[in-house]
């Protein structure tokens, strides 16, 4: 599963690199508008006469970049607060847990719409808007793991030989959470890509003329009734392919980590 997923991701990125080197400019409006797929434009052109293959391939950069920024933000905020909250416990823990529980009840896309509406779109802004909705997942996982190992003897001994809080939490406890965090991050890369496209589709994504899958297929839908199916088909196909890649890797990693942890349990 992991291997197939990685191959899919590599192909998507390869297309992107290929387009950067040899493909036509994704912003050049030099061609006949809305011409169907043919040999010179294998995915056809959009309403402004831009080469769709080039836009779809360039779009990989932006979608993956924004998704990656969002995952990076949510994993750092979520897991650091989760770790501190689980470690110190008490009132702080209760308050943060409640706040993250409330956030967890709202679907990530709705939070993203709310924030994107407030702070506007852009590569970092959109990444941030998507990130907030995913923070509770990391918070919960890390907090749970920290809570479960907090009372173990090796933590007490590490503390006894003089380890400070920072080193205790981040050097001695966090490593236990890393496998679950990595699996979740990979899965959330997939959801992040869908959310980026979703925001773009709703008109809240990266501003034009950036080649972005969601925005492109959203604009293309005005021409469906006129029979032009390609502008909204190919960007979506790329979304599916890249999401599938990340989901396969994520699920595969999850299965592997879970299998190793149950095996460990059985040997006790």
Partner 1 sequence: MRLRTFILLRLLLTIPMVLLLVTVVFAIMRILPGDPVLAVLGSRAGSEQQIEAFRHQLGLDKPLYIQYLEYVGNLLRGNFGYSMVRQDPVSSELGDHLPATVELTFWSMLLAIPLGIYSGVFAARKAGGKVDASIRIGALVRWCVPVFWFGLVLQILVVQFNLPLPIAGQASPRIASVPHVTGLYTVDAILAGDLRALVDAFAHLVLPVVSLGTTMAASITKIARTNVVDVLGEEYIRVASLKGCSDERVFQKHALPNALIPILTYTGLQVAVLLQGAILTETVFAWPGLGRLLIDAVAFRDFNLIQGCVVLFALVVSIANLIVDISYAVVDPRVRF
Q: Which residues contact partner 1 by CB under 8 A?
A: 98-99, 101-103, 105-111, 113-120, 132, 190, 194, 197-198, 201-204, 217-218, 221, 224-225, 227, 229, 232-233, 236, 239-240, 243-244, 247-248, 251
Report the alpha-carbon distance of residue 265 to residue 44 in Å, rounded. Answer: 55
Return the number of the residue (169 or 180) whose C-beta is nearest partner 1: 180
Q: Shortest Cβ distance from residue 233 to partner 1 (Å)?
A: 7
CB of 82 to partner 1, least distance (A): 17
State the Cα–Cα distance between residues 241 and 145, nearest whole angstrom.
33
220: left (phi over 0), alpha (psi -120 to 50) or beta: alpha
Q: Which is nearer to partner 1, 145 or 204 (CB)?
A: 204
Residue 123 and residue 62 in contact, taking contact as beta carbons nearer than 8 Å: yes
CB closer to partner 1 out of 168 and 244: 244
By residue count, the chain amounts to: 268
Q: CB 119 → partner 1: shortest distance, Å?
A: 6
CA torsion through residues 250, 253, 257, 258, sign? positive
Closest distance between partner 1 and the C-beta of residue 111, in Å?
7
**Nearer to partner 1 (CB atom), residue 173 or residue 249:** 249
H or E, element range at 70: helix 52-88
């Amino acid at each position: 599963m992991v291997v197939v997923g990685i191959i899919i991701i590599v192909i998507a990125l390869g297309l992107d690199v290929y387009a950067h080197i040899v493909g036509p400019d994704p912003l050049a409006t030099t061609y006949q508008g809305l011409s169907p797929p043919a040999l010179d434009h294998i995915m056809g052109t959009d309403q402004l006469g831009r080469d769709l293959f080039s836009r779809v391939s360039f779009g990989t950069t932006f979608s993956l970049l924004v998704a990656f920024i969002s995952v990076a933000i949510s994993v750092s905020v979520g897991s650091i607060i989760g770790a501190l909250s689980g470690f110190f416990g008490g009132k702080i823990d209760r308050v943060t847990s409640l706040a993250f529980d409330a956030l967890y009840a709202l679907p990530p896309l709705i939070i993203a719409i709310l924030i994107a509406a407030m702070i506007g779109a852009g590569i970092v802004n959109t990444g941030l808007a998507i990130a907030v909705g995913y923070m509770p997942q990391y918070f919960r996982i890390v907090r749970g793991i920290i809570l479960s190992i907090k009372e173990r003897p090796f933590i007490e001994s590490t503390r006894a030989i003089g380890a400070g809080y920072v080193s205790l939490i981040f050097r001695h406890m966090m490593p236990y959470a890393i496998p679950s965090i990595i699996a979740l991050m990979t899965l959330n890369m997939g959801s992040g890509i869908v959310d980026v496209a979703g925001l773009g589709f709703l008109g809240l994504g990266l501003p034009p003329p950036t080649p972005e899958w969601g925005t492109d297929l959203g604009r293309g839908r005005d021409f469906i009734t006129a029979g032009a199916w390609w502008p909204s088909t190919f960007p979506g196909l790329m979304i599916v392919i890249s999401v599938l890649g990340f989901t396969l890797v994520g699920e595969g990693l999850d299965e592997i980590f879970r299998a190793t942890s149950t095996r460990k349990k059985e040997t006790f």
